[in-house]
Amino acid sequence: MKRTVSRPRRTKPTPMLWLGCDAFAWMRLLMAHRFAVHYSRWPVALIISAISPGHTLLRWAQEAIFGRRVARTPIEHGPLFILGHWRSGTTLLHELLSHDPRHAAPTTYECFAPHHFLLSRSWLPRLLGGLMPVRRPMDKMAAGWDRPQEDEFALCLLGQPSPYRRIAFPNHPAPDADLLDLRRLPSAIQRRWKSAFLRLVRQWTLRSGGRRLVLKSPPHIGRIPLLLELFPDARFVHLIRNPYVIYPSTLQLWRLLYSIHALQRPSWQTLPEYVLSTFTHLYERFEEDKGLIPPGRLHELRYEDLIRDPIGQLAALYRQLDLGDFAPVQASIQAYLSQIKNHETNRYFLTPDEHHTITQRWGAVIQRYGYSSEPRP
């Protein structure tokens, strides 16, 4: 199948993402991939190797200062999980829900410095300001250390099983589907993942003063049993977008991430199949598991409806999930929508061959959520 999204222009690699590893997580990542760092990325790897012990020291210091408080922090409100495939509009929804002062979301700094953000968040982001672009490269949405971010980055940098390890070594075989849903991993590894995630949630809850957390991570679509085990009172909102847009947009996302953050020179050959199979796997798991969510705890909506009527869709979401009165936050959300009203989304096109493959591979999801399989002019 021919690819339509052009290769991104070669981007000078930056160590920003992997700078968040402590010494132990960094060495485990390198050892798992047999130190297969391309010679052009050696300077990046040396910088990370020099900085990672500092993260370890800060982690120990944070544990000494905050460890007992974190362990005693109650989670009074089950998190609100935003479920959705990459490039389905979950970032927009994350931003909107974070404007409610009753909610809190992990920030980019907290997800990129998960070992010690309670200790360092008041001073270290100022020193790292030059590493953070003001716009996300994949869609030009606002970026910054204080913007809401995916918790999957934090788990990956803590050394937990995550498909995001592929960003570092994209030329190695695609990560097993078990890294998406975690269900077939050995029980000891699952316990460590759950312990790490629960500790992160307690840290974010402590930092936010006990507010309800709004968490977003695409792999969570396949992790509903684990999430319900940890947080029986959790709520879920599932956002779906036209799969014929998701496919080329996700290709572009991974190409940009690999170009900027990989420790190899990406070859791209296996990427289209990875995107196709990952989507299928996640939605198979979601359909199997969403019946486990108690009534009134899951709300589903289409990205296109959210864009058409954001206030109406959010009001319905608040009613369905019993999130409290929507009226007090409506003005704040409308102000944010006014700020981004001129934002233009990326445009993509598909060849007939690509369109046919997507229809064949993703047809069940396309039909289930009412999208047309007819090619657009």
pLDDT in tens, 156-205: 999 999 999 999 999 887 666 678 899 889 999 999 999 999 999 999 99
Residue 9 in domain: no
How do residues 220-243 score in pLDDT, each as one tens digit? 999 999 999 999 999 999 999 999
CA 270 to chain centre: 21
Q: Which helix (H) or strand (E) holds 281?
A: helix 271-289
Residue 8 in domain: no
pLDDT at 172: 82
Q: Interior CA angle at 327 toward 339 and 108, to 5°?
A: 45
Give the integer Cα–Cα distance in Å for 304 and 89.
9
Q: What is the mean pLDDT of the chain?
A: 90
pLDDT at 129: 66
How many domains does the chain fold into? 1
Residue 47 in domain: yes
- Quote the domain boundaries for residue 362: 18-368
Residue 374 in domain: no
Residue 13 in domain: no
Residue 216 in domain: yes
Q: Which positions of the chain have pLDDT values less than 50?
A: 1-13, 15
Specify the 3-state DSSP secondary structure of 190.
helix
pLDDT at 11: 41
pLDDT at 145: 85
Are residues 236 and 221 in contact, defined by beta-carbon separation less than 8 angstroms? no
Residue 363 in domain: yes
pLDDT at 128: 74
Specify the CATH number for the domain of residue 320.
3.40.50.300
